[in-house]
Amino acid sequence: MKQTSDVLFQDKKMGFFLYLIVEAIMFAVLFATYIIFTPASQGPDPSEVYKWKTVVLTSVFLLSSSGTLLIAEKGLEKGNRTKIAAGLIATFVLGAIFMVLEIHEFYKYVHEGYSITVNNFLSSFYVLVGLHASHVAFGLGWMILLMVQFKQKIPQRLFIEKHKIFNYYWHFVDAIWVLIILIVYVPYLF
Amino acid sequence: MNVPFVGQVPSDIVVSWIASALIGLFVLWWLTKYNKWPVIWEYIRTTHHRKIGTMYILVAIIFFIRGGMDALFIRTQLAVPENDFWVFQSQKYNEVFTTHGTVMIFFVAMPLLIGLMNVAVPLQIGANDLAFPYLNAVSFWLFVAGGFIFNMAFFFNAAPNAGWTAYAPLSTDTFTTGPNNNYYIFGLQVSGLGTILTAINMIVTIFRLRAPGMKLNHMPLFPWATLLTSFLILIAFPVLTIALLLLTFDRYYGTSFFIGEMGDPVYWQHLFWIFGHPEVYILILPAFGIFSDIISTFSRKKVYGYTSMVIAIAIIGLLGFMVWAHHMFTVGLGPLANSVFAITTMLIAVPTGIKIFNWLFTMRNGVVRIRTPMLFALGFIPTFVIGGVTGVMLAVAAADYQYHDSYFVVAHFHYTMIGGTILGAFAGIYYWYPKMTGKVLDEKLGRWHFWLFLIGFHLTFMPQHFAGLNGMPRRVYTYSWEDGIFLLNFISTVGAFLMGASMLFVAWNLYKTHRLTDPVGGDPWDGRTLEWSVGSPSPEHPFEPVNQVDRLDAFWHAKVKGEEVPKAEDARPSPIAVKTLQPVILSIILVFMSIGFIYHWISLQVLGGAAVIAYLIIRSITDERKEVYEKEEEG
């Protein structure tokens, strides 16, 4: 008989990858929406809204969080609990800083009069980037739960399974951010 | 009608309140008197594929009654010119055809097929359950929650009224104020999520849980159709999710994606049909799979041209994504776009034609036995061909300017959706009924059902082609004597009532079968595929030990040799079944959260969101894998 946990993990992995395809299609539609409606025929142009500093800063924090998560993954492979904890906490902190910067960015835009209803460029910007931000927020909550389960006495293989699934999620969210940089920001910043 | 404490309410809604209360009381009394509560308690906590499949079908039938009543209201209102039947005029009529369409597509056709997939697919591939039993329960209860939300609208006098396509700008809050179309959005969002999760479950099951030795091309055609359909769901449904999300922003948060100077109503049409056209193939491909299995079983022959059948399904699925703009020929996309989409649409007739001929060739030289499931399959072939022919007519973009939005279109899609999907679902229910309940439905009443339904169907929809060609537009609640379409409409109405009457035979059949007949064995039809090698109804762990399969129709070939299907030595572990109330609780939370959104009650939205997060946390820490993995680590 094959090892139960291994087979069930492979099932779950495949299911989760299929789910990520679903998510990818949802983001693809929102990217298309953004491309169609930007720049808008009236109201502010993206080039006057975006600040390159914010984009660079947020990107640094979020993309490096994918790197620190690799530390945790190394720890998982080697069974090194310190590495797992350090990797997870670092990832959480970087993700949280990204979240703060993102909220600050939205807040500032709204303050400057660039709210979601002003024109269709801003509408599609907020829906797309907002959906991504809510994914980051969800991931932060997920990490807290993962850390609680790390402390608890759950079977090691179950923890590894849950951790790995989270890793796929987090890397996926990062990949979407790279696309956001390339499609949303870069064409109007440089 | 003036109701004390409530105010002015249309009388049909008052009648429905009273009727629902009476039926509800009767059901409560019946459940208590016959001591059925333990059964209910068992079923709402189950994660077993057969039980969930059966519940899908049961709930779909309840929605079928609702959608069918809407259809009869529509037909009664249109029976004679300048009619004023009850309340079903103008805005009320819009509500009736909107709910009829939406309910029939999302809450009848989809769950009937998904229910049959749940019952049959794991057994046909030799699996003990779906890959994720818990997730399957979640999918089912999300579908129930979505259906509940959508149907609730009517009882609060706020049924959606922008058509099942919810075309913008009509569906935005500028033109349809009030909560009506909010119900549409949230009903579809919740049930749509359930459908996506089912698709994931089916794909993983088919890829990873097939019996040892069973290659993909050893599978019967229903699992094949399920696999390819699941991929279509995986790609099409997220597009609907985002389209509805954007519509939500337009209706709730002041954006203007689909309306106004900056917005683009045609963008909604694109998004909707990028989802919507694959959706109609999502509805028809599983029916093709069911018919293939049934025709093969009742002809005592291997299905003709197995490989070409699989390839045909795949090509139909692929082309299904390249034809969406044929719903938009009259929008003005230009001659180039119209030509391209016309050609891709016509191309679909080729693989479909291959399938039709393969079914006929399967019967040729076969030992054909005409039992109820086979009868439905035989009724399907000519009916669906008519629907296909009018489909090619509609694909001629220039001619479509004449057909567009007329009753010709209504006739066409009912020939494909009823003639294909619904006949397929009926055939599948009669065919797999023993696997669900352990009994075979009565043959004679089944025939009554079939003939009345089929004759009623053609009487209803054949004249609508001509009404359409004579200029009758769809979605109108009346017409005049001068239009010269009275007779066509009247025949149509008679046919609709005949179809309604045929459903009474189903009710009679269910009663008679369960009261008067004895249980049957595992293989009542002399079947070919693995589901007939296990008991009826299928047991909780049907394949222990699992089978070793090395060819198509393995059970048939073992039977011919007078042997059992060989057992496998080294099988993979089965998925973990649990008993849990969590999926039901999630669906209740989502109903309340949706109400919060529908009526703009922000505190209920926040509360619902918090409850969902709490659910996810509880789900994660009560994971059923915990126990299993613990045992593994000890051992």
Q: What is the 3-state secondary structure (H, E, C) of B519-538?
A: CCCCCCCCCCCHHHHCCCCC
What does the alpha-carbon distance between residue B264 and residue B254 come to, in Å, rounded to a whole number? 15
Domains of chain A by residue range: 4-189
Phi, psi at B400, each rounded to 5°: -60, -25
pLDDT given for residue B488 in this prediction: 97
DSSP state of B108: I
Percentage of residues in chain B having pLDDT higher than 90: 93
* Sign of the four-CA dihedral A33, A36, A41, A43: positive
Q: Decide if B409 contacts B474 (C-beta within 8 A).
A: yes
Reported as a single tens digit per residue, the pLDDT across B435-446 is 999 999 999 999
> What residues pair up with B3 in beta bridges, in sequence order?
B7
CB-based contact A42 B261, cutoff 8 Å: yes
| Cβ-based contacts of A2 with chain B (< 8 Å) | 570, 572-573
What span, in angstroms and rounded, lies between the C-alpha atoms of B147 and B108?
10
Phi, psi of B369 (to 5 degrees): -110, 130
Residue A13 buriedness (CB in 10 A; 0-12 / 13-18 / 19+): middle
Q: Could A15 and B261 be called an inter-chain contact, meaning their C-beta atoms sit closer than 8 Å?
A: no
CATH no. of A4-189: 1.20.120.80
Q: Looking at residues B369-390, what average pLDDT do you find? A: 96
For residues B140 and B583, give the distance between their C-alpha atoms in angstroms, rounded to a whole number.
8
d(CA A37, CA A23): 21
Q: What is the mean pLDDT of residues B392-407?
A: 95
User: Across residues B24-48, what is the average pLDDT?
Assistant: 94
Q: Which letter does DSSP use for residue B567 in this model?
A: B
Angle between helices A52-78 and A156-180 (to 10 degrees): 160
pLDDT computed for residue B5 by the predictor: 78
Residues in Cβ contact with B201 at an 8 Å cutoff, skipping those fewer than 6 apart: A15, B130, B131, B132, B135, B136, B139
The beta-carbon neighbor of B241 closest among A4, A26, A157 is A26
Average pLDDT over residues B13-20: 92
DSSP string, B554-616: HHHHHHHTT-PPPBPSSPPPPPPP---SHHHHHHHHHHHHHHHHHTT-HHHHHHHHHHHHHHH
In this predicted complex, what is the ipTM? 0.96
**Distance from the B611 Cα atom to the nearest Cα atom in chain A, whole angstroms:** 14
Q: Tell me how far apart the alpha carbons of residues B180 and B328 are, in angstroms, rounded to a whole number.
A: 25
pLDDT band for position B104 (50/70/90)?
A: very high
Q: For the packed helices A120-151 and A81-111, what is the interaxial angle rounded to 10 degrees? A: 160
Distance separating alpha carbons of residues A170 and A138, to the nearest angstrom? 10
Of A11, A37, A157, nearest to B131 by CB-CB distance is A11
pLDDT higher than threshold 70 for residue A1: no
Whether the predicted pLDDT of B451 surpasses 90: yes
Residue B238 to residue A141, Cβ atoms within 8 A: no
Distances (CA, A) of A75 to A69, A140, B73, B576: 10, 20, 66, 29
Contact A40 B628 (CB under 8 A): no
Inter-chain CB proximity B621 and A149 less than 8 Å: yes
**Residues B325, B341: contact at Cβ < 8 Å?**
yes
* Residue B235 touches chain A, beta carbons under 8 Å: yes
Of the pLDDT bands very low, low, confident and very high (cuts 50, 70, 90), residue A79 is: confident
In the chain, the amino acid numbered A10 is: Q
Inter-residue contact A146 to A166 (CB < 8 Å): yes
Eight-class DSSP state of B327: G
Asked if the model's pLDDT at residue B322 lies above 80, the reply is yes
Residue of A20, A127, A151, A163 to mutate when probing chain B, most B C-beta within 10 A = A127
Q: Which B residues, 612 through 631, put their C-beta within 8 Å of a C-beta on chain A?
A: 613, 617, 620-621, 623, 625-626, 628-630
Give the domains, in start order, of chain B with CATH numbers.
36-479+486-600 (1.20.210.10)
Which pLDDT score, from 0 to 100, does residue B220 have? 96
Residue B329 tokens read as 């020929």
The minimum CA-CA distance between A114 and chain B, rounded to whole Å, is 13
Residue A184 has pLDDT above 60, yes or no: yes
Cis upstream peptide for B169 (omega within 30°) = yes
The shortest CB-CB distance from A127 to any of B208, B249, B271 is to B249
- How far is residue B142's CA from residue B199's CA, in Å, rounded to a whole number? 14
The rounded radius of gyration (Å) of the Cα atoms in chain A is 19
Structure tokens given for B26: 């009767």
CB contact under 8 A, B629 and A36: no
Burial class of residue B273 in the structure, from the number of CB atoms within 10 Å of its CB (0-12 exposed, 13-18 middle, 19+ buried): buried
To the nearest whole number, what is the mean pLDDT of chain A? 94
Q: What is the mean pLDDT of the segment spanning B124-153?
A: 96
As a whole number, the mean pLDDT across chain B is: 95
Cα angle, residue B372 at apex, residues B532 and B563 outer, rounded to 5°: 20
Q: Which residues have C-beta within 8 Å of that of residue B133, sequence separation ≥ 6?
A: B47, B48, B49, B575, B576, B577, B578
Q: Is the pLDDT of residue B302 over 60?
A: yes
Tens of pLDDT along B544-602?
889 999 999 999 999 999 999 999 888 889 999 999 999 999 999 999 999 999 999 99
Residue in A12, A22, A149 closest to B238 by CB: A22
Distance, CA of B106 to CA of B84 (rounded, Å): 30
Asked if B261 and B205 count as a contact pair (C-beta separation under 8 A), the reply is no
* C-beta of residue B118 within 8 angstroms of C-beta of residue B49: yes
Q: Which of B198, B625, B630, B634 to mutate to test the interface with A (most CBs of A within 10 A)?
A: B625
| Nearest CA-CA partner of B103 in B72, B142, B65 | B65
Average pLDDT for residues A55-61, to the nearest whole number?
A: 94
Half-sphere CA count of B179, side-chain side, radius 13 A = 20
pLDDT digits (tens, 9 = 90+) for A94-110: 999 999 999 999 999 99
Instruction: Please enumerate residues of A whose Cβ is less than 8 A from a Cβ of B.
Output: 1-5, 7-8, 10-12, 14-15, 18-19, 21-23, 25-26, 29-30, 33, 36-37, 40-42, 116-117, 119-120, 123-124, 127, 141, 145, 149, 152, 154-158, 161-162
- Cα dihedral B302, B303, B309, B313 sign: negative
